[in-house]
Structure 1
């Protein structure tokens, strides 16, 4: 019995030795080059999560340009999974038809709100002027903590577009409470922060009025859609934009 166990342990040791001999993490490029000569310019490396390796210009162009939309998905692993609140939702972590529909809708709405035009530039300038006025109001300019002023500056540009409001520099505790801490701790709080803003905008929506923010415009399109635009998707799109902006 002892002999059998010893033989098994020996085989395992040999396997591990050979494995690291052939797949040396410090000389990975040599291993990849060897695989290309044996398997061609497209092959799979069987790590804990299989990786498809593209080694030629033609294969890279075909995958990322010719069939680019087929490769827009995310792995769905840490840390990405921290920011996924629903399967295939939003614009950052979705793929396929859902991604195309949400992206198309978001681009149309953002263009209506002046993306790439002077309207959006004016909003950014307005937030900058308010930021500068806040700095001027600080008495001790030799010791200025820029963390929250800069955070509010960016948040105001994003909030104005998404939710139609902006924070006052002397009244921003709500945002500070939600966004303070490490990403893993702060993200659930920020998601709740966005959810509350979306709900507030839904209550102020009037289909007879012109859309005053991204949420209102999304609701207008949602009422005319086949179901691909819905409340959960709207929440995820706003969440993606808010986090990307922050």
Structure 2
């Protein structure tokens, strides 16, 4: 793909449009224009494209990445604030990473000493990265004890990424509810929505478990992002604010 972009740059210049189906994608290829556009005038280009599948996957334009406008700004500010408190860019975050590096090396050594002839370093790294992410979001690491759970979450992520590259997904993005009435599209719609429901239920169940044990009146700092979000949501609701933290 990178090679093709270079060919298009030579043919059409530093600024041109590529069409993905019926969606135009404007591409920039020289540093001064990129700097001027996204750094000096970044607010103008802060919007997000709207994919109708998001109505099924995220119940609309929700989340830190796929929302836009004031909701995106507020959620982004909140996320940065929470992660800074968790040590993002500081020694505390480095310590979290070092814990996983230490466990990664120990686990690989244990497998070798246990007589295993082939050890997948990639799988070990995936598990370590997943543990860091999960400890920040849900408050616990996977480790080899929860490898099966990690593999389940990894498959969820791989599924969602893979779908975006499928022709039937791209075609139906104009209106999944409409296209589901047609052959092939109908079976894909059932398959996709069933898998998405599994993903959503998995995370919603974890969030509900969190909600049951949180002391919403506590003044102590939250230990993970979900707890921080639920406590802030609770506080906003108590103050009558219901715009940005209720999805």
- TM-score, scaled relative to structure 2: 0.64
2:45 aligned with 1:71: yes
What secondary structure, in the 3-state scheme, does the structure 1 residue paired with 2:145 have? coil
Shift in Å, 1:103: 0.4
Q: Is the 8 A contact 1:70 1:96 kept in 2?
A: no
In the alignment, which residue of structure 2 is the partner of 1:201?
210
Structure whose CA Rg is larger: 1
In the alignment, which residue of structure 1 is the partner of 2:230?
219
2:73 aligned with 1:100: yes
CA 1:83/1:64 → structure 2, altered by over 3 Å: closer, same or farther? farther
What secondary structure, in the 3-state scheme, does the structure 2 residue paired with 1:170 have? helix
Shift in Å, 1:220: 2.5
- TM-score, scaled relative to structure 1: 0.65
Q: What runs of 5+ residues in structure 1 fail to find an aligned partner?
A: 1-24, 233-246
Please give the root-mean-square deviation of Cα atoms over the aligned residues, in Å.
3.8
1:33-48 correspondence to structure 2 within 5 Å: 48=22
Q: Distance in 1 between matches of 2:150 and 2:55?
A: 20
Q: Distance in 2 between matches of 1:63 and 1:175?
A: 39
- Which deviations, in whole Å up to 9, do the C-alpha atoms of 1:188-231 show, x marking residues without a partner? 34444332222221122112252121112222222333223424
- Which deviations, in whole Å up to 9, do the C-alpha atoms of 1:113-163 show, x marking residues without a partner? 111111111111112212222112112353113344222211111111111
2:99 aligned with 1:115: no
The count of aligned residue pairs is 200
Q: Is the 8 A contact 2:71 2:244 kept in 1?
A: no
Q: Distance in 2 between matches of 1:229 and 1:56?
A: 36
Shift in Å, 1:66: 3.4
In the alignment, which residue of structure 2 is the partner of 1:183?
159
Q: Is the 8 A contact 1:84 1:93 kept in 2?
A: no
1:26-65 correspondence to structure 2 within 5 Å: 32=12, 48-51=22-25, 62-65=36-39
- Which deviations, in whole Å up to 9, do the C-alpha atoms of 1:92-130 show, x marking residues without a partner? 122211111000000011111111111111111112212
Q: Is the 8 A contact 2:54 2:60 kept in 1?
A: no
